[in-house]
């Protein structure tokens, strides 16, 4: 063997790259060469067309040339597969359009430079991916395709569709030899083979055929930067139209529906909004609130028991705001009465659910109750469960926002009634499993990939949507508070005033958190019925220095016929009255729970749940949620062991050493 061949063989053994590998890699270079070379050529073309007198002729000529080239591509590819023909024509048309614009304007302009930097790699990668998939699992590329590389020989890409920003392939699995789960488990290897981020490959099963699946590949992360806020999607429209809060990674708008629609068989929906601190869920809420408040037939009530005005301040006088844990809890206890009142009226009008007719003919707007940091008001699980079960038919959507929807934070009965999930970044994938469906997780949805590093990135899963969108991540618009305030002020005349029944039942005044009266459509302060009295909790908040130092003045004597009593005289001794026993202290409750656990051990029971503490509100003066949290505390201290769930209740086991000691 010659020295040259020995050298070549030695180089191959060291690098692992053969001549066949180099030849195969060379087939992937042309799209990149064309895409990268387009920019310097456009600089030269712009310089040559810089003469103002020649610019009109250059513009017309290049436009005609680009159109002709695109048409020739369509005709020349007629013998190819339809998808190849469309892909070729789309690529040629896009390149011609950009090149013409860059020649006429200036390639260094941010819009033109940015679009080239984004589109050129995406288009080049789409051709590479099609080439790789075309040689996977068939006779044309045996041994060199994508699926052979990831040990999935036998999988075939039957149809490949190319759209802006993504490539979709319909996969045929060898029937009886492989499952969709096998392919889903190799998405990381596929992304590695294509030199793409791990999250860029997703596999979704075909609901009608277990031997088929859809693979979606996103070559370029279009969610890296949020898109600018475009303004309200339907100012003056109905709440039955969707709220547009962001865009999916393929450019489609992200929509949220609240009321039901009989024509499309979509039910009214409650939502749970989940996301770690800093994941952007509060910003998403602001966009949704702004969308709601630009509609003509809806009321919005926002409750925040924890953060004060930090999140809701920008709403100002535009909608009722309830702050403080006590006030929020009080308002939620009043919702059941409102539900009964609205449901009765809808039934009287011949409506089995809220429709636009309820507003246009009877003046009843839809109602959205949005609760931020909802665990602070979820302690009354019984009331919240009733609201979640009955509110939708009365034209009310309940939105509960929290960081982690674990069983300790939210009652499972409540969670089962919340049909929609808006999940932002979470710290661990296990956190998302509390809300997102198992099918969505198996299809590749992973909000833990973002945590709080990509604020606004989210998944949306709700009834009535195209299920294809469930697995596609989205990101909310970028909008500053002044932009949203400007929209709210510009559309103030469009929104419905707070309905008197809502104000009456929930104990809301027509004022903001700052005490300024909100205005109706006519611009005058809203007036309530004479029977309404705003609810104020005197214990929720603090007295000012002036109030604290001002002595209270008793009322005037409005009944002079009554005998005057000396207020300074000593009261006579009264007979002892029989009062109910006071609420036990926390230490007393914990001792009772310890005695109860010992009793169960003596009876031979080594596993316990909250159900073993019967009627805790009566005997312990605590809610079942508090008892659940106390058992979790004991587990964290090692006195109990969490062993899973049984009928939606966490089961705890008493360690052997504790049992022996007892």
Is residue 541 included in any domain, yes or no?
A: no
Q: How many angstroms separate the CA atoms of 487 and 508, rounded?
A: 24
Across 76-224, the runs of DSSP E, i.e. the strands, are 156-163, 166-172, 201-206, 209-217
Q: 339 with 347: CB under 8 angstroms?
A: no
305 and 206 in a single domain? The answer is: no
Q: How many angstroms separate the CA atoms of 540 and 242, rounded?
A: 37
Q: 214 with 204: CB under 8 angstroms?
A: yes
DSSP string, 77-111: GGGS-HHHHHHHHHHHHHHHHHHHHHHHS-TTSHH
Q: Strand 201-206 to strand 420-424: parallel, antiparallel, or no bridges (unpaired)?
A: unpaired
Owning domain of residue 394? 243-506
Instruction: Find the angle CA(222)-CA(224)-CA(227) to the nearest 5 degrees.
Output: 75
Is residue 580 included in any domain, yes or no?
A: no
Is residue 106 included in any domain, yes or no?
A: yes
Helix (H) or strand (E) holding 272: strand 271-274
153 and 124 in a single domain? The answer is: no
Is residue 151 included in any domain, yes or no?
A: yes
Q: How many angstroms separate the CA atoms of 75 and 57, rounded?
A: 27
173: domain CATH number? 3.30.980.40
At residue 232, the 3 state secondary structure works out as coil
Q: How many angstroms separate the CA atoms of 113 and 106, rounded?
A: 9
Residues 6 or more apart whose Cβ sits within 8 Å of residue 186 = 150, 151, 152
Structurally, how many domains does the chain consist of? 4
The answer to pTM > 0.75 is: no
**Domain end point (choices 190, 221, 252):** 221
Q: How many angstroms separate the CA atoms of 313 and 316, rounded?
A: 6
DSSP 374: G
Tokens matching residue 41: 């050529």
Is residue 105 included in any domain, yes or no?
A: yes
Is residue 62 included in any domain, yes or no?
A: yes
Q: How many angstroms separate the CA atoms of 655 and 641, rounded?
A: 7
477 and 336 in a single domain? The answer is: yes
122 and 180 in a single domain? The answer is: no
**Domain end point (choices 506, 524, 553):** 506
Q: How many angstroms separate the CA atoms of 200 and 488, rounded?
A: 37
The residue ranges of the chain whose pLDDT is under 70 are 1-29, 35, 48-62, 65-67, 69-88, 113-118, 124-145, 163-165, 407, 509-582, 647-648, 656-662
Task: Name residue, tokens 């008001």.
Answer: 377
**Domain end point (choices 72, 104, 134):** 134
At residue 601, the 3 state secondary structure works out as helix
Q: How many angstroms separate the CA atoms of 426 and 202, rounded?
A: 19
183 and 144 in a single domain? The answer is: yes
72 and 168 in a single domain? The answer is: no
DSSP string, 1-40: --HHHHHHHHHHHHH---HHHHHHHHTTHHHHHHHHHHHH
Q: 292 with 239: CB under 8 angstroms?
A: yes
60 and 209 in a single domain? The answer is: no
Instruction: Kindly report the backbone phi and psi dihedral angles of residue 367, in degrees, each rounded to the nearest multiple of 5, phi listed first.
Output: -130, 130
77 and 139 in a single domain? The answer is: no
Is residue 551 included in any domain, yes or no?
A: no
213 and 290 in a single domain? The answer is: no
Task: Name residue, tokens 């508090």.
Answer: 626
642 and 618 in a single domain? The answer is: yes
pLDDT attached to residue 310: 77
Is residue 393 included in any domain, yes or no?
A: yes
638: domain CATH number? 1.10.10.10
129 and 142 in a single domain? The answer is: no
| Side-chain-facing half-sphere of 397: CA atoms under 13 Å | 26
75 and 141 in a single domain? The answer is: no
DSSP string, 617-652: HHHTSS-HHHHHHHHHHHHHTTSSEEEEEETTEEEE
């Amino acid at each position: 063997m010659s020295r040259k061949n020995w050298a070549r063989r030695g180089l191959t053994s060291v690098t692992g790259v053969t001549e066949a590998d180099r030849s195969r890699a060379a087939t992937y270079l042309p799209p990149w060469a064309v895409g990268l070379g387009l920019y310097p050529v456009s600089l030269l073309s712009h310089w040559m067309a810089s003469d103002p007198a020649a610019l009109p002729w250059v513009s017309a000529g290049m436009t005609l040339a680009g159109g002709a080239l695109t048409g020739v591509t369509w005709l020349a590819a007629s013998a190819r597969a339809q998808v190849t023909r469309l892909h070729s024509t789309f690529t040629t048309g896009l390149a011609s359009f950009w090149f013409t614009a860059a020649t006429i304007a200036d390639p260094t302009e941010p819009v033109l430079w940015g679009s080239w930097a984004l589109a050129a790699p995406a288009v080049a990668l789409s051709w590479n991916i099609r080439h790789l998939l075309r040689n996977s699992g068939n006779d044309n590329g045996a041994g060199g395709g994508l699926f052979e590389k990831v040990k999935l020989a036998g999988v075939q890409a039957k149809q490949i569709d190319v759209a802006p920003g993504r490539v979709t392939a319909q996969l045929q699995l060898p029937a009886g030899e492989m499952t969709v789960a096998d392919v889903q488990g190799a998405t990381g290897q596929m992304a590695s083979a294509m030199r793409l981020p791990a999250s860029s490959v997703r596999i979704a099963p075909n609901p009608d055929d277990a031997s088929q699946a859809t693979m979606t590949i996103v070559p370029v992360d279009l969610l890296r930067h949020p898109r600018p806020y475009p303004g309200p999607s339907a100012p003056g429209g109905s709440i039955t139209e969707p709220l547009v809060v962001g865009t999916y990674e393929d450019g489609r708008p992200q929509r949220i529906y609240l009321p039901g629609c009989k024509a499309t068989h979509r039910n009214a929906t409650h939502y749970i909004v989940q996301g770690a601190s800093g994941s952007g869920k509060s910003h998403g809420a602001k966009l949704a609130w702004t969308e709601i408040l630009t509609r003509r037939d809806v009321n919005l009530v926002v409750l925040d028991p924890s953060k004060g005005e930090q999140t809701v301040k920008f709403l100002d006088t535009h909608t009722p705001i309830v702050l403080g844990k006590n006030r929020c809890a009080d308002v939620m206890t009043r919702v059941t009465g409102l539900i009964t009142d609205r449901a009765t009226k809808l039934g009287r009008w011949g409506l089995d659910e809220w429709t636009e007719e309820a507003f246009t003919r009877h003046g009843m707007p839809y109602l959205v109750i949005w609760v931020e940091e909802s665990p602070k008001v979820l302690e009354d699980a019984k009331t919240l469960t009733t609201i979640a079960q009955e509110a939708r038919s009365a034209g009310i959507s309940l939105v509960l926002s929290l960081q982690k929807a674990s069983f300790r934070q939210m009652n499972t009965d409540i969670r089962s009634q919340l049909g929609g999930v808006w999940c932002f970044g979470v710290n661990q994938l296990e956190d998302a499993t509390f809300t997102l469906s198992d099918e969505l997780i198996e299809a590749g949805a992973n909000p833990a990939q973002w945590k709080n590093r990509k604020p606004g990135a989210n998944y949306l899963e709700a009834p009535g949507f195209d299920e294809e969108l469930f697995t596609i991540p989205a990101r909310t618009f970028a909008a500053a508070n002044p932009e949203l305030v400007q929209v709210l002020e510009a559309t103030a005349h469009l929104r419905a005033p707070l309905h008197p029944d809502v104000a009456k039942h929930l104990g809301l005044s027509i004022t903001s958190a700052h005490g300024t009266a909100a205005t109706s459509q006519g611009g005058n302060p809203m007036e309530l019925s004479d029977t309404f009295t705003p609810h104020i909790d005197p214990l929720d908040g603090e007295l000012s220095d002036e109030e604290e130092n001002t002595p209270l003045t008793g009322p005037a004597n409005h009944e002079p016929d009554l005998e005057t009593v000396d207020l300074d005289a000593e009261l006579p001794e009264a007979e002892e009255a029989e009062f109910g026993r006071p609420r036990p202290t926390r230490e007393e409750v914990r001792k009772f729970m310890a005695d109860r656990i010992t009793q169960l051990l003596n009876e031979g029971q080594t596993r316990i749940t909250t159900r073993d503490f019967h009627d805790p509100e009566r005997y312990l003066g605590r809610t079942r949620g508090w008892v659940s949290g106390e058992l979790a505390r004991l587990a964290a201290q090692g006195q109990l062991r969490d062993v899973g769930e049984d009928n939606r209740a966490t089961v705890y086991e008493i360690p052997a050493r504790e049992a022996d000691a007892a």
